[in-house]
Amino acid sequence: MLRIPCPHCGERDYTEFRYAGDATKTRPAHGTTDARAWHDHVFLFVNPKGPHREHWQHVQGCRQWLVLERDTGTNAVGRSWLARAGEPS
Amino acid sequence: MKFLSRYSALALARRALTNARWQRAWRSPDPKPSYDVIIVGGGGHGLATAYYLASRHGIRNVAVLERGYLGSGNVGRNTTLVRSNYLLNGNTQFFEHSLQLWEGLSHELNFNVMLSQRGQIVLAHGPSQLDVLARKGNTMRLNGIDAELMERADVQRFLPFLDYSEQSRFPIYGGLFQSRAGTVRHDAVAWGYARAADRLGVDIIENCEVTGFQRDGDRVIGVETTRGLIHAGRTAISVAGHSSQVAAKLGLRLPIESHILQAFVTEPIKPFLDCVVSFGAELFYISQSDKGGMVFGGHIDGFNTYTQRGQFPKVQTIAECAVALIPSMSRLRLLRHWGGIQDMTPDGSPFIGRTPFRNLYLNAGWCYQGFKATPATGWCLAHTIAHDEEHPLIRHLALDRFERGNGHDEYGLGLWTYKQ
């Protein structure tokens, strides 16, 4: 069972969370009219085998969005932090 | 001696009487310095492509490079179902072509792939769902494909052991039956294509991982491997779950995420389920293997991963589907469960065809449906490589379709990988 450390609630089963993909993507600025920039943002994935930063929402807990470090090759879980707070220094 | 390597009654009798050993089904050659075509990935799709290149297009100077051993990937990890009940124009014809190739495959390869056309029924659990199935059935029949709409009473006569009780959470309203659908022994598909391609001169090179590509401008001219540099006139990538890793060696980003799909088999029981059943309330499909085990699968786990080991909550969800559909399965014990890494795309449809690089072709993004597509993928990819132009059956599967707003979303879920 994948267990995710929630900054508020502690370590919980992943089934309490909703997965929301790559957290390193940056949405194009509002008003961007370049269709390719939107295409690349929406449809292309790095899809790494190894370290990955990703968004999860703790829907059955504190409902906060967090960023999790996970290795997609092993599912080993690293640090996590609140998405709105940014990466701790 | 050559005819002896064919599988025939005479060859069988001779070996029974003399105790002579069967020779290996395919050679184990060292890579040559150069090939006309290199296919990266020795799964079902790659082997089928090599076979049709050699047998239909006369291109026999071909190498198939496999990182592990043949049959170690998704060709041996699926639930072995074949069918052609697809709604969208393009998919319908492609998968029907695949089913027709399945129907002749044992003769084509002189290798029994054990196609069993036991039929598949997709269940409807409400009147609107039955309407959707009627529409799909009509589409199939307009394309010359067999399809039969069943009402609840028909289904109950056909499959009396499903849950028709008052307490049923998802009452059965009817279903759509395709009698030509069924199962195939998946290992035999890999072995059969490998053996047939090898006999036509294709080099199948196992334990050979591609580590990079040689380029001349925008043209791919060779591959770097753990067994040295190999030059290639044309190169095709057909590596399923690891498509993004291989494409990244060329700086390509793909509309693909790699996810795990689990599959399950129970302890063997006596013959019980003589067709393939797809639940309509959740993604769940079940059949009974020739050994008696109930073979079934469901959705992906839901987050991208390359570990071929599934999460336990998904085991529970899928077992709940099994018992909701067939209550008498509740006391069966699960014998094994395993996972395969599948390449999920935003619209649930794959990519086959040319790429931004000249002489480089891609076959990837098969989501849940790679196995049943094996013969037609090989057929169409071989055509595409031989002619440097997409086969008419795969023109809707271009890599750049999202740039043109042409997503091909069979189930109408929206262009979002986690819904597919």
SS3 of chain A? CCEEEECCCEEEEHHHCEEEEECCCCCCCCCCCCHHHHHHHHHCECCCCCEEEEEEECCCCCCCEEEEEEECCCCCEEEEEECCCCCCC
Within-domain flag for A18 = yes
From first to last of the 89 residues of chain A, give the pLDDT tens digit: 999 999 999 999 999 999 999 999 999 999 999 999 999 999 999 999 999 999 999 999 999 999 999 999 999 999 999 999 989 98
Beta bridge partner(s), residue B262: B339
User: Each residue of B155-174: b (16+ CB within 10 Å) or e?
Assistant: beebbeebbeeeeeebebbb
CATH number reported for the structural domain that contains residue A55 in this entry: 3.30.2270.10
> What residues contact B198, with CB distance under 8 A and at least 6 apart?
B25, B26, B27, B204
B256·A1 Cβ contact <8 A: no
Q: CA B420, CA B410: separation in Å to the nearest integer? A: 9
Residue B416 scores a pLDDT above 90: no
Contacts of A57 in chain B (CB under 8 A): none
In a domain, A33, yes or no: no
pLDDT at res. B3? 43
| Mean per-residue pLDDT of chain B | 95
Dihedral pair phi/psi, residue B292, rounded to 5°: 110, -10
Distance from CA of A56 to the nearest CA of B (A): 10
Q: What percent of chain B has pLDDT over 70?
A: 99
**pLDDT beyond 90 at B52:** yes
Q: Which residue of B lies nearest to A47 if distances are taken between CA atoms?
A: B257
Query: What confidence score (pLDDT) does residue B292 get?
Result: 97
Terminal CA-to-CA distance of chain A, rounded, Å?
A: 29
pLDDT reading at B418 higher than 80: no
What mean pLDDT comes out for the span B344-363? 97
Q: By C-alpha distance, which of B31, B25, B29 is closest to B6?
A: B25
Structural domains of chain B in order of their starting residue, each with its CATH number: 30-80+186-255+347-419 (3.50.50.60), 117-180+258-344 (3.30.9.10)
User: CB within 8 A of B130, min separation 6: which ones?
Assistant: B124, B149, B173, B174
Q: How far apart are CA B40 and CA B29, in angstroms?
A: 16
3 state DSSP class of B248 = helix
Distant-in-sequence, close-in-space partners of B264: CB < 8 Å, separation ≥ 6: B295, B296, B297, B315, B318, B319, B334, B336, B337
Facing B307 at nearest CB: one of A39, A54, A74: A74
Judge: B253–A40 Cβ closer than 8 Å, yes or no. Answer: yes
**B202-237 pLDDT, tens digit each:** 999 999 999 999 999 999 999 999 999 999 999 999
**Measured between beta carbons, which residues in chain A are less than 8 angstroms from residue B253?**
40, 44-46
d(Cα A82, Cα B172) in Å, to the nearest integer?
Answer: 45
Chain B residues within 8 A of A54 when measuring between CB atoms: 303-304
Torsion sign across C-alpha atoms B400, B404, B410, B411: positive
Give φ, ψ of B287 to 5 degrees.
Answer: -150, 170
Distance CA B171, CA B246 (A): 46
* Residue B30 structure tokens: 């060292």
pTM, full prediction: 0.95
**A42, part of any domain:** no
Chain A CB contacts of B311 under 8 Å are 1-2, 14
Residues of B in contact with A52 (CB under 8 A): 304
- pLDDT higher than threshold 90 for residue B6: no
Euclidean distance between CA atoms B270 and B288, whole angstroms: 10
Enclosing domain of residue A86: 1-24+48-89
Say if A38 falls within a structural domain.
no
Given pLDDT bands bounded at 50, 70 and 90, which one contains residue B1? very low
Say whether A49 and B313 touch across the interface (CB within 8 A).
no
How many other CB atoms are found less than 10 A from the CB of residue B21?
Answer: 7
CB under 8 Å, gap of 24 or more: what pairs does B224-229 form? B225/B31, B225/B65, B227/B30, B227/B31, B228/B31, B229/B33
Whether B230 contacts B63, CB under 8 Å: yes
Q: What span, in angstroms and rounded, lies between the C-alpha atoms of A76 and A69?
A: 9
Chain B residues close to A36, C-beta within 8 Å: 403
At position B375, the amino acid (one-letter code) is P
Write out the DSSP string of B321-386. HHHHH-GGGGGPPEEEEEEEEEEE-TTS--EEEE-SSBTEEEEE--TT-TTTTHHHHHHHHHHHHH
Amino acid code (one letter) for A38? W
ipTM of the complex: 0.95
Rounded Cα–Cα distance for residues B7 and B267 (Å)? 32
| Residues facing A5 on adjacent strands | A11
* Count of domains observed in chain A: 1
Single-letter amino acid code for the residue at B134: A
pLDDT tens digits, one per residue of B231-264: 999 999 999 999 999 999 999 999 999 999 999 9
- Hey, are the CB atoms on B402 and A45 less than 8 Å from each other? no
Tell whether A64 is covered by a domain: yes
Q: List the single residue in B with minimal CA-CA distance to A72.
A: B305
Nearest CB to A49 within list B303, B306, B313: B306
pLDDT of the residue at B5:
62
List of chain B residues whose C-beta atoms are within 8 Å of the C-beta of residue A77: none
Torsion of CA B231, B55, B29, B190, to 10 degrees: 110
Collect all residues of chain A within an 8 Å Cβ-Cβ radius of residue B418: 19, 21
Mutate to test the interface with A, among B304, B314, B362, B401 (most CBs of A within 10 A): B304
Minimum-distance CB partner of A72 among B254, B305, B418: B305
B315 to chain A: closest CA residue: A1
Q: Which residues of B touch A39 (CB under 8 A)?
A: 402-403
Question: Across the interface, do A45 and B255 touch by the CB < 8 Å criterion?
Answer: yes
The C-alpha atoms of residue B146 and residue B121 are separated, in whole angstroms, by 12
pLDDT in tens, B364-403: 999 999 999 999 999 999 999 999 999 999 999 999 999 9
Interface residues of chain B, partner chain A, Cβ below 8 Å: 242, 244-245, 248, 253-258, 302-307, 311-313, 346, 402-403, 415, 417-418
User: Which residues lie below 8 Å from residue B110, measured CB to CB, with a gap of 6+?
Assistant: B6, B7, B196
Q: Which pLDDT value is given to residue B4?
A: 44
The Cα of B115 is separated from the nearest Cα of chain A by a number of Å equal to 35
* Nearest residue of chain A to residue B247 (CA atoms): A46
Between A and B, how many residue pairs show a Cβ–Cβ distance under 8 A? 67
Q: What is the chain B residue with the closest CA to A15? A: B313
Q: Is residue A40 part of a domain?
A: no
Q: Is B307 in Cβ contact with A73 (below 8 Å)? A: yes
User: Residue B378, class by beta-carbon neighbours within 10 Å (0-12 exposed, 13-18 middle, 19+ buried)?
Assistant: buried
The verdict on residue A43 lying in a domain is no
- Domain assignment present for residue A12? The answer is yes
